[in-house]
Chain A
Amino acid sequence: MTITSIPERDFTRAQIIDRLNATLAAQRPIVSVAAGVGIIAKCAEVAGADLIFVHANSRSRNLGVPTSIYIGNPIDMTLSMYPEIDNVVDRTPIIAGIDATDGQRRRLFRVIDDYVARGINGITNFPTALAYTGNWGRARNDVGMGSDRELELLAEARRREIFTVGQAYDAGFAADLAAAGADLIIARCGLTQGGAVGPSPDAESSLSPEAAADHVQAVIESARAANPDVFVIAHGGPFARPADTEHLYANTDVQGIHAESAIERIPVEEYVAAEIASFKSPVLRA
């Protein structure tokens, strides 16, 4: 029942998949946008973004610091940012991050219930324990709180016909995510390069466009071996600006881009600075 002029934002899993297929059929990339504040989400919707993501690291970008996750509990931060995103997004699915390795929330089904009750349209394993170098995320499986929980999360969501997004830093985990039922995989290429607080392209951890494209293609091939229908889009690393995707799209089978710093950090930095500089440019009369 609709009791006001503002309707519920309903999307079934099938409707979200149709939406992504329609974008590709129109020969356009899937563009998903991470938003930590309403103004970003609202404008992303106006611009026609395919998906809007709410996850913990958006908070740090709006603070103006290098992208960080653990400046709070990730699920708590996600749920505190979500209401203002929900408030201004009417026609675009909102996908929200769940830290499946949060030991304070052992019953993952309850977390999923909570997200669905809030009107969240899809879930993703963000943050993922495999974002960290070394063996942390897999070693935590020894105590039942590692990356296997992320696969459980996706499988449970899929069982309930909720749209699911898998976050993959490596090709092996991408296959696991696809096998667990992920509808879409984000091939992660590291911190988005550039802007005021991102790593420079020649930093030790920064991938070159060529290396990042190879990585994305490996993720795609691995994920598609597990599920030929899975969507794969890329995030971060050298793919920071629209023109950077030209190389990516020409050299891989990727279907679009997931923009975090590429929308809610770098353009905001540049547009705001340019606007203020333009306000300084007029000359006062003598």
Chain B
Amino acid sequence: MARFTRTQILERLRSQLEQRRPIVGAGSSSGLIARSAAAGGADLIIVYNTGRTRLMGLATNHLLNHANPTTLGMYREIANTVRDTPIIGGAEAQDPTYWNDIDRLIDDYQAAGYDGLINFPTSFAQPDRNDVGLGLQLDFEMVKRARERDFFTICYGYTAEQTQGLAAAGADVVVPHAGWTTGGLAGAGKSAMNLEESCRHVQHLIELARKENPDIICLAHGGPLSSPEDLQYLYDTTDAQGFLGASSAERIPVERAVLETVAAFQSYTPRVALQAK
């Protein structure tokens, strides 16, 4: 069962904000990444089904596996290396195998050991899913039920409708999503927003969320937000209180680690190679 209550998690996050320290959530899909992110001071460890695709060396993709069983199955590896940081699971409310059964979905995440939920993956712009009862309303229902059960929730908001709805449903944290992360070997390209556009978009969604709940904690994610410099700009120009990194936590630094370390190993020459012709 969960190691942290909703109240305990909120106290931890609020104490960071009181010190004007940004909240950092780190997408972590292996025990190695999770241990390292926690050692670096992550406030929240977030487990997504998409993380497996990042570790496979692919561009992030949420469609290569069945999200809920994948995320539920990942908990044990993460919990094995993280003891003192809340672990949040990406739960897909729109999963047809939990049709009309959001309580069972929450039960499964609690039984697995997760300390809270984030609505991921989520679709927000597919009217045909709404028409068959498997659309965005289920995200709202999941957050509402989790809140009634005093289970911590984080919500990604891609659009105004989604962000407002999730805040109104009782989300503890909302994360305006600025799109697919740029940078590294497998990041978004021309389709991405630039930094200024992203920050304006984030601020717009924060203002909508705060209208529904003035106390909601507002983070940001994605797009060009992937370096400390980008984040300082974000904090200087918006009311964002932190950042969820996924590719920027478990893809881009791993790529750099390998590229730079292999190159460093190549820079020393064996004496036998000096004699080679």
Q: Is the CB of B80 within 8 A of A29?
A: no
Q: How far is it, in angstroms, between the C-alpha of A89 and the C-alpha of B260 when the chains are bound?
A: 18
Q: Is the CB of A271 within 8 A of B262?
A: no
Q: Is the CB of A249 within 8 A of B269?
A: yes
* Contact code string B43-78 (vs A, CB < 8 Å = 1, else 0): 000000000001111100000000000000000010
Q: Which residues of B contact A282 (CB under 8 A)?
A: 22, 228, 231-232, 235
Known A63-B80, A267-B257, A286-B20; contact A42-B185, beta-carbon cutoff 8 A = yes
Q: Is the CB of B273 within 8 A of A267?
A: no
Q: Is the CB of A47 within 8 A of B262?
A: yes
Question: Does B261 count as interface, using CB distance less than 8 angstroms?
Answer: yes
Question: Does A256 count as interface, using CB distance less than 8 angstroms?
Answer: yes
Q: How far is it, in angstroms, between the C-alpha of A276 and the C-alpha of B44 when the chains are bound?
A: 11
Partner of A46, one of B17, B252, B259, B272: B259
Question: Does B39 count as interface, using CB distance less than 8 angstroms?
Answer: yes
Partner of A28, one of B20, B81, B253, B266: B266
What is the minimal beta-carbon distance from A67 to any residue of chain B, in angstroms?
A: 11
Known A43-B255, A282-B231; contact A268-B262, beta-carbon cutoff 8 A = no
Q: How far is it, in angstroms, between the C-alpha of A63 and the C-alpha of B20 when the chains are bound?
A: 33
Q: How far is it, in angstroms, between the C-alpha of A87 and the C-alpha of B37 when the chains are bound?
A: 27
Q: How far is it, in angstroms, between the C-alpha of A285 and the C-alpha of B267 when the chains are bound?
A: 43
Interface residues contributed by chain B, number (CB under 8 Å): 64
Known A29-B273, A282-B231; contact A272-B40, beta-carbon cutoff 8 A = yes
Interface segment among A31-39, A122-130, A177-185, A199-207: the answer is: A31-39
* Contact code string A41-57 (vs B, CB < 8 Å = 1, else 0): 11110111100000000
Partner of B262, one of A24, A33, A249, A273: A33
Q: Is the CB of A269 within 8 A of B36?
A: yes
Q: Is the CB of A280 within 8 A of B41?
A: yes
Question: Does A69 count as interface, using CB distance less than 8 angstroms?
Answer: no
Q: Which residues of B contact A39 (CB under 8 A)?
A: 54-57, 251, 254-255, 258
Question: Does A40 count as interface, using CB distance less than 8 angstroms?
Answer: yes
* Contact code string A261-283 (vs B, CB < 8 Å = 1, else 0): 01111011111111111111111
Q: Which residues of A contact B30 (CB under 8 A)?
A: 37, 62-64
Question: Quick one: closest A residue to B227, CB to CB?
Answer: A278
Question: Does B277 count as interface, using CB distance less than 8 angstroms?
Answer: yes
Q: Is the CB of B249 within 8 A of A272?
A: yes
Q: Is the CB of B31 within 8 A of A84?
A: no
Q: Is the CB of A269 within 8 A of B32?
A: yes
Q: Is the CB of B265 within 8 A of A31?
A: yes
Question: Does B241 count as interface, using CB distance less than 8 angstroms?
Answer: yes
Q: Is the CB of B81 within 8 A of A65?
A: yes
What is the minimal beta-carbon distance from B167 to any residue of chain A, in angstroms?
A: 20
Q: How far is it, in angstroms, between the C-alpha of A243 and the C-alpha of B271 when the chains are bound?
A: 15
What is the minimal beta-carbon distance from A155 to any residue of chain B, in angstroms?
A: 27
What is the minimal beta-carbon distance from B234 to any residue of chain A, in angstroms?
A: 8
Q: Which residues of A contact B245 (CB under 8 A)?
A: 275-276, 279
* Contact code string B71-110 (vs A, CB < 8 Å = 1, else 0): 0000001001100000000000000000000000000000
Interface hub of B34, B56, B243 (most chain A Cβ within 10 A): B56
Q: How far is it, in angstroms, between the C-alpha of A7 and the C-alpha of B236 when the chains are bound?
A: 48
In which size bucket is the chain A interface? Answer: 35 or more
Question: Quick one: closest B residue to A88, CB to CB?
Answer: B57
Q: Is the CB of A249 within 8 A of B254?
A: no
Q: Is the CB of A272 within 8 A of B57?
A: no
* Contact code string A61-99 (vs B, CB < 8 Å = 1, else 0): 111110000000000000000001001100000000000
Question: Does A284 count as interface, using CB distance less than 8 angstroms?
Answer: yes
Q: How far is it, in angstroms, between the C-alpha of A40 and the C-alpha of B261 when the chains are bound?
A: 11
Partner of A49, one of B31, B36, B262: B262
Question: Does B42 count as interface, using CB distance less than 8 angstroms?
Answer: yes
Interface hub of B245, B252, B276 (most chain A Cβ within 10 A): B276
Partner of B40, one of A63, A259, A277: A277
Q: Which residues of B contact A284 (CB under 8 A)?
A: 17, 20-22, 235, 241
Question: Does B250 count as interface, using CB distance less than 8 angstroms?
Answer: yes
What is the minimal beta-carbon distance from A6 to any residue of chain B, in angstroms?
A: 13
Q: Is the CB of B24 within 8 A of A280?
A: yes
Can you show 20 pairs from A to B with CB atoms below 8 A apart? A27-B273, A38-B55, A39-B54, A39-B55, A39-B255, A47-B262, A47-B263, A62-B30, A62-B55, A64-B31, A64-B81, A87-B56, A88-B58, A263-B262, A272-B40, A275-B40, A277-B41, A279-B22, A280-B41, A284-B17
Q: With A27-B276, A64-B80, A278-B228 given, can you name 8 additional A-B contacts, CB distance below 8 Å?
A: A29-B273, A39-B55, A253-B271, A268-B32, A275-B253, A276-B41, A276-B245, A279-B24
